[in-house]
């Protein structure tokens, strides 16, 4: 078992809040059919991990900013961590509200440093299902081979970087499209929920996110007349310890 100094304290009274922002209908963009399925599966998965789930649909830019700003100012003293999942249209480093785009950094900034003291030193986990550009990934052929091939920390006041303890997991890499099925939901959220269902109470989060990457990269594809489209998720981690969702 890993030393306690390498594992986040997940023994608070509450697991924490999981916010789901699900933008389906937009003023000028196409409707995101299938996103309701994503929301339902995410609610089920994070509830099973003992989060208090709150869902918000069709949020304008200012509503998204205000919602997360308010969440950052809430008292999370008795919580292990905070989760936010955003399901929407996107481009490069922006996410769309129903009336236009907002920078991802503007949504994350309220949780940094002294602005959100009760989450300082705790995991702040953001999962973003959205396109990050208009490029599509045609994939590459690969020649595959099949085969087998407890410490006590000193109690002290210390300073950590304001950017520490974040994980931002994107459905796709910068510049590329993210695929969504109108009936089954998005590839990325399907994979995330599958991994959380199978391993959410046993594996650490980064190991699970790597498995999500593998699942999307290997198990999903969109076939067109001439080409086959693929997708590669992207993990940006500033976590400083392992995250486990062991049952309380």
Q: Is 63 exposed, middle or buried (0-12, 13-18, 19+ CB in 10 A)?
A: middle
Separation between Cα atoms, residue 222 and residue 68, nearest integer Å:
34
Tell me whether residue 116 is one of the annotated catalytic residues: no
The Cα–Cα gap between 17 and 202 comes to: 20
Residue 217 neighbours by CB distance under 10 Å: 17
Q: Could you say which of 89, 214, 218, 246 is catalytic? A: 89
Q: Note whether 147 and 239 are within 8 A (CB).
A: no
Catalytic: which of 81, 84, 116, 131? 131
63: which residues sit within 8 A by CB, 6+ positions away? 56, 97
The values of phi and psi at residue 21, to 5°, are -100, 115
Using alpha carbons, list the distances in angstroms from residue 90 to 32, 97, 103, 106, 176.
Answer: 12, 9, 10, 14, 10
Residue 89 among the catalytic residues: yes
Residues linked to residue 21 through DSSP beta bridges, in sequence order: 56, 86
Residues tagged active-site: 89, 131
């Amino acid at each position: 078992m890993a030393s306690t100094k390498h594992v986040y304290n997940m023994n608070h009274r509450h697991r924490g809040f999981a916010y789901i922002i699900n933008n389906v209908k937009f003023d000028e963009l196409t409707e995101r059919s299938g996103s309701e399925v994503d929301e339902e599966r995410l609610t089920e998965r994070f509830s099973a991990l003992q989060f208090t789930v709150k869902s918000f649909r069709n949020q304008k830019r200012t509503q998204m900013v205000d919602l997360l700003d308010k969440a950052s100012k809430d008292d999370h003293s008795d919580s292990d961590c905070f989760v936010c999942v955003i399901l929407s249209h996107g481009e490069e480093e922006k996410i769309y509200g129903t009336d236009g785009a907002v920078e991802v950094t503007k949504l994350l900034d309220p949780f940094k440093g002294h602005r959100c003291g009760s989450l300082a030193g705790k995991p702040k986990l953001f999962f973003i299902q959205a396109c990050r550009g208009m490029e599509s990934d045609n994939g590459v052929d690969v020649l595959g081979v099949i085969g087998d091939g407890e410490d006590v920390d000193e109690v002290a006041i210390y300073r950590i970087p304001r950017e520490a303890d974040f994980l931002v997991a994107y459905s796709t890499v910068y510049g590329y499209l993210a695929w969504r099925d109108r009936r089954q939901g998005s590839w990325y959220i399907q994979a995330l929920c599958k991994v959380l269902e199978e391993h959410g109470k046993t594996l650490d989060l980064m190991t699970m996110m790597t498995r999500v990457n593998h699942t999307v990269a290997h198990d999903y594809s969109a076939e067109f007349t001439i080409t086959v489209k693929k997708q590669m998720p992207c993990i940006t981690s500033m976590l400083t310890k392992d995250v486990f969702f062991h049952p309380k």
